[in-house]
Structure 1
Amino acid sequence: MNKYRKSAVAGMFYPDMCSEIKHYIAHFDKEMPELKLDVIPRALIVPHAGYIYSGYTANLAYHYTALKRSDIERVVVIGPSHRIYVSGASVALFEAYHTPCGELEIDLRYSHDLQKKFPCIDFHPSAHEEHSTEVQMPFIHHYFKHAKIVEIVYGDIMHDELSSVIDEVLKDEKTLLVISTDLSHFHTEEEANKLDNHCIEAIKNRDLHALTHGCEACGMTGVTAMVQSALHYDLSAHFLDYRTSFSRTKDDSRVVGYTSFVIG
């Protein structure tokens, strides 16, 4: 088995040159509004499309968290599988994760511990050629380059099973949890705004019923699990940004929605 989790979508979803990634992040930072929040983030909900579409929305969450958290020692990234069927979830048991800006050390001991503790978690190497988790890594390298990482890709799993994993992750206050999801896919701009606003309000209100009735998201299981754990830990969900691919393409006939939250 290869010791490294090699980049699978560099040059497609995000640049394959470090200088270009830094240029993107610098541009996103310049466009940042003043965020009137006072929360210590324990978890993030961020999108995972190409940086030209959703990078700004994701960067808001990472930038804010970096300002508030200098103590992060581990980042656990949880995202849905788009490429292959996965029964349960897979944790990456590689030694390091490659990004165009350098390597991120994988916390192998912690990853093995999760695998042993939760029957729903196994290791399927091919599951980790996954963009929903990979697009987060250049942001993590930029803002938390000394943190170790854990990558979990899930498939056919109940949200309460995944919530149990999240509950375990949240026990360590020096661990940051990242939940990766996009919102509605390929509706008109008007339809997407209605669907996505329903999801956003459900997350804000930590409303599990609303999330599972009328919300559309490719990472719905992860979001629902996160909201269930937020209720368990009495954490609040703070909305940062919403937009669709229309803001980039100017095509309002088939759009994808993106949002970001900090949980704390």
Structure 2
Amino acid sequence: MEKIRRASHAGSWYTDNPKKLEEELDGWLRASGLVKSPDVRGVIAPHAGYSYSGRAAAYAFANIDPSSVSRVFLLGPSHHYYTPKCALSRATVYKTPVGDLPIDLEVNEELKATGKFELMDLHVDEAEHSMEMHLPYLAKVFHGYSVKIVPILVGALNAENEAMFGRLLAKYVDDPNNFFSVSSDFCHWGSRFNYTHYDKNHGAIHKSIEALDRMGMDIIETGDPDAFKQYLLEYENTICGRHPISVFLHMLKTCSTKIKIKFLRYEQSSQCKTMRDSSVSYASAGAKVDA
């Protein structure tokens, strides 16, 4: 029986008007000027409302060659629901205003059989926006192609479990029909986020934030999960998708295929100039087979 996850954030975080949404996504994808490549096997992309991060996200999704992919694994952080594990969806289809994405029930069962995952209730699934904000882009890019998704909600994992889930998922990277969409915003800066790290050596606050984010992005590009962990411990940068990114880094470290992450776009929701300001950073990356 079909079990639907509604597009619960349509109409608030992004438009629920299919025609308008198509036009927006089209415009952003075209404006990125990027070419589709079958070598791109994964992305890291933001998940804020489209008025904030829609344009930045296009720099991840415009890379995708839909003709070479039949399955997309989504890794998103959990904002409202606490779990020390990863959770799979109970739904059979994820709806979007621009097309629906069926869940790969076979792979879902395979993952469930490992005994390492929990199942999230539909209300937990629908309350979470981190993966939903990737769905319209995926539905758009894969329009006319047969694709299934495997949504994985990544909980508050310790370092050991990040490595364990990375090892467990690594074999899927070696299948070139699989693609990985990793959801994360970068620095959440300001007193409302309880994070006001400011290195005056960089000048204005927003420059300091950018330097901090870029340091993290550079470390992610090295593919070293331990160095990323060390960076997070040292600077406590409020990267909300740090656990999905860490799992992804462990996957790439363990799999046989050589894949390299490269960041293509960086933006901030606003430029912080005083300690009263706040902002969220958005970064988009492609993970490409490194010949």
Q: TM-score, normalised by structure 2?
A: 0.82
Is the partner of 1:12 in helix, strand or coil? Answer: coil
* Within-5 A mapping of 1:1-264: 3-33=3-33, 40-66=39-65, 69-117=66-114, 119-125=115-121, 126-129=123-126, 130-145=128-143, 146-157=146-157, 158-187=161-190, 188-215=205-232, 216=237, 217-233=239-255, 234-246=258-270, 252=273, 253-264=277-288
Taking every aligned residue pair, what percent have the same amino acid on both sides? 26
Kindly provide the amino acid, as one letter, of the partner of residue 175 in structure 2: D
Is the partner of 2:243 in helix, strand or coil? Answer: helix
Is the partner of 2:283 in helix, strand or coil? Answer: strand
Is the partner of 1:114 in helix, strand or coil? Answer: helix
Distance (whole Å) between structure 1 residues aligned to residue 206 and residue 265 of structure 2: 16
Change (3 A) 1:14 1:162: farther
Kindly provide the amino acid, as one letter, of the partner of residue 46 in structure 1: A
Contact 1:3-1:95 within 8 A present in 2 as well: yes
Change (3 A) 1:179 1:200: same
Q: How big is the shift at 1:127?
A: 2.9
Is the partner of 1:152 in helix, strand or coil? Answer: strand
Q: How big is the shift at 1:232?
A: 2.7
Is the partner of 2:56 in helix, strand or coil? Answer: helix
- The more displaced of 207-216 and 179-188 is 207-216
- Could you list the per-position Cα deviations for residues 45-71 of structure 1 after superposition, in whole angstroms to 9, with x for gaps in the alignment? 1111111111122112211113xx412
Is the partner of 1:113 in helix, strand or coil? Answer: helix
Distance (whole Å) between structure 2 residues aligned to residue 97 and residue 201 of structure 1: 33
Q: How big is the shift at 1:84?
A: 1.3
CA RMSD of aligned residues (A): 2.1
Is the partner of 1:135 in helix, strand or coil? Answer: helix
Q: How big is the shift at 1:221?
A: 1.2
Report the count of equivalent residues: 257
Distance (whole Å) between structure 2 residues aligned to residue 165 and residue 9 of structure 1: 31
Q: How big is the shift at 1:108?
A: 1.1
- The more displaced of 155-164 and 195-204 is 155-164
Distance (whole Å) between structure 1 residues aligned to residue 49 and residue 216 of structure 2: 21
Contact 1:195-1:214 within 8 A present in 2 as well: no
Distance (whole Å) between structure 2 residues aligned to residue 59 and residue 164 of structure 1: 29
Kindly provide the amino acid, as one letter, of the partner of residue 23 in structure 1: E
Contact 1:90-1:127 within 8 A present in 2 as well: no
Change (3 A) 1:39 1:95: closer
Contact 1:75-1:177 within 8 A present in 2 as well: yes
Distance (whole Å) between structure 1 residues aligned to residue 34 and residue 62 of structure 2: 12
Change (3 A) 1:138 1:73: same
Distance (whole Å) between structure 2 residues aligned to residue 87 and residue 20 of structure 1: 39
Q: How big is the shift at 1:213?
A: 2.6
Is the partner of 1:256 in helix, strand or coil? Answer: strand
Is the partner of 2:76 in helix, strand or coil? Answer: strand
- The more displaced of 196-205 and 211-220 is 211-220
Structure 2 unaligned spans of 5+: 191-204
Max radius of gyration: which structure? 2
Is the partner of 2:207 in helix, strand or coil? Answer: helix
Runs of 4+ in 1 over 4 A off after TM superposition: none
Change (3 A) 1:76 1:38: closer
- The more displaced of 203-212 and 138-147 is 203-212
